Amino acid sequence: MIDGDWRVGAVAPLLTKEAQENFELAVFPDIAEQKGESGSTSTIVATGFGMKAGLTGDKADAAWKWVSFFAGPEASEIRLIEQGMIPVYIMDISAYDIAPLAVKRGAFYPKHSGTVVLDGVITGEPINIINIGLQELALGNTTPEKLAAGIEAAMKLVR
């Protein structure tokens, strides 16, 4: 299965605890001459909320109140329980019944640095070709060379 770690919260409830033990989180292997640090993981920073620059007064107070709630213990606990998301907020999670797959995701983060998520910098048809092409590649319905050529052709249209 090729997907992002964000799918753990949706996949874990579909599997028994025993089945979850058979899943591992992994990164794509390094690509020769790749740019950046080794480790082909991906990261989107601070997805889900933001605050308009230059807010003042009551609007700024309300925005900071929301950010503090979202990043704090109460919302972190909700995401932990409801989605199996290991919180960024430092809290003791030992008393929670966390899905084994979520525990694996929590242990995965410190071991792997991130790189930019492709669909954060590439939009439109090239991303569709990549997403569908990776599945076709895994199923043996295309070759890496054909997939790369299709991606390059689509990229020329959006550059």
pLDDT in tens, 108-153: 877 776 656 676 777 788 889 998 999 999 999 999 999 999 999 9
Residue 36 confidence class, pLDDT cut points 50, 70, 90: low
Scored b (16 or more CB within 10 A) or e, 136-159 reads: beeeeebeeeebeebbeebeeeee
**Crossing angle for the helix pair 57-71 and 73-83, nearest 10 degrees?**
50
Residue 58 confidence class, pLDDT cut points 50, 70, 90: very high
Residue 98's pLDDT is 85
Residue 16 confidence class, pLDDT cut points 50, 70, 90: very high
Q: Residue with structure tokens 């249209």?
A: 157
Mean of the pLDDT values across residues 76-84?
82
Global confidence as pTM? 0.55
Nearest-5° angle of CA 122, CA 32, CA 41?
A: 50
Scored b (16 or more CB within 10 A) or e, 21-56 reads: eeeebebeeeeeeeeeeeebbbeeeeeeeeeeeeee
